[in-house]
Amino acid sequence: MNSPAITIEALLVLDAIEHRGSYAAAAEQLNKVPSALSYIVQKLEEQLNVTIFQRQGRRAVLTPAGKHLLHEGRKMLHAMNSLSEQTQTIANGWEPKIRIACDAIMDINPIFDSIQGFLLEHENIEIDISEEVMNGTWEALVNDQVDLVIGAPAPVPNQKGIRAIKIASMNSVLLIGNAHKLVNELLSVGQPIQPSELARFRNVVVHDSSQHEIPWTINMIEGSQQFYVSTITQKIAAIKAGIGIGYLPQDLIQTYIDSGEMLVLDTLIKPAEQDLLMAWKIANKGKGLSKLVKFLS
């Protein structure tokens, strides 16, 4: 197998010449003599059968073919640098990538603020965020699809080697949009609403994202027709549009309550407070995960 014409050394030479504008300046940067750089460029041009640089006065300017070569070559140089850094990172016990599943019920803004603080100290660690719902959040962790879950609902799955800590409590309220055709009828009751009254209204429900485990259902309205959505954003939009009623964390939708777009229904039976957890597998000893957990706690 023939050696590739394009080498890392050649790309570094092209990058330096283009950046400094001349062979002499690039040679000074690379601690080489100009003739060595000329030889490398000439050899590359011969092997590729293209002209890479052309003279404009004292400056060496890239041809269109040379621009393309250097543009793509810089991607390779960046990838090589990243590979070197990741290899050293792994050798020192730091993982190159952390995969996180956030439950849809969580406000993502403070989570991203904490992650940003972590990345300021560990910029070479890649973060991969996904969104799950209820049992799907736990399933992602159990099946090693993610390294960390944030906002997973209690309880913790049994006998799975999982470490979990409580990060928040969720208080849900039953909401109706001010666009709902029966909003005035419900609000005119003047006392807590009976469960039998709620059954007349369509219930907006977010699908559990679990693929293999038994899906969870919480705060369902018995006897009510269901309207299923995939995300919390869709649930909020459906309730605002008057499609149905549904439970949501009060902290998450307080803005809509304050604006009057959503109204809280006073129910006879109140939903129980729900613990939200952050969890990871005990077997995961990565230094990055351990440090990130501290930022998020």
* pLDDT tens profile 14-66: 999 998 888 889 899 999 998 999 999 999 999 999 999 888 877 888 999 99
The reply to whether CATH 3.40.605.10 applies to domain 172-272 is no
Give the mean model confidence (pLDDT) for residues 152-175: 88
Structure confidence at residue 285 as a pLDDT band (50, 70, 90):
confident
Domain with CATH 1.10.10.10 in the chain: 8-91
Spatial distance between the Cα atoms of 228 and 58, rounded to a whole number of angstroms:
68
What pLDDT is stored for residue 198 in this prediction?
A: 82
* 262 CB-near residues (< 8 Å, 6+ apart): 175, 176, 177, 178, 239, 240, 253, 256
Amino acid at 290: S
- Beta-carbon neighbour count of residue 201 at 10 Å? 20
The reply to whether CATH 1.10.357.10 applies to domain 97-169+275-296 is no
Instruction: Please state, rounded to an integer, the average pLDDT across all residues of the chain.
Output: 86
Q: Which residues of 170-189 are buried (b: 16+ CB within 10 A; e: fewer)?
A: bebbbbbbeebeebeebeee
CATH class of 8-91: mainly alpha
Spatial distance between the Cα atoms of 114 and 103, rounded to a whole number of angstroms:
16
Spatial distance between the Cα atoms of 34 and 261, rounded to a whole number of angstroms:
71
Residue 214 scores a pLDDT above 50: no
Domain with CATH 3.40.190.10 in the chain: 97-169+275-296
What pLDDT is stored for residue 117 in this prediction?
A: 95
Distance of CA 168 to CAs 26, 115, 150, Å? Answer: 56, 17, 10
The full DSSP string for 272-293 is: PPEEEEEEEETT---HHHHHHH
Give the mean model confidence (pLDDT) for residues 168-188: 85
Structure confidence at residue 150 as a pLDDT band (50, 70, 90):
very high
Q: Which two tokens stand for residue 90?
A: 């792994």
Q: Tell me if 97 sits within 8 A of 124, measured CB to CB.
A: no
Domain with CATH 3.40.190.290 in the chain: 172-272
What pLDDT is stored for residue 95 in this prediction?
A: 86
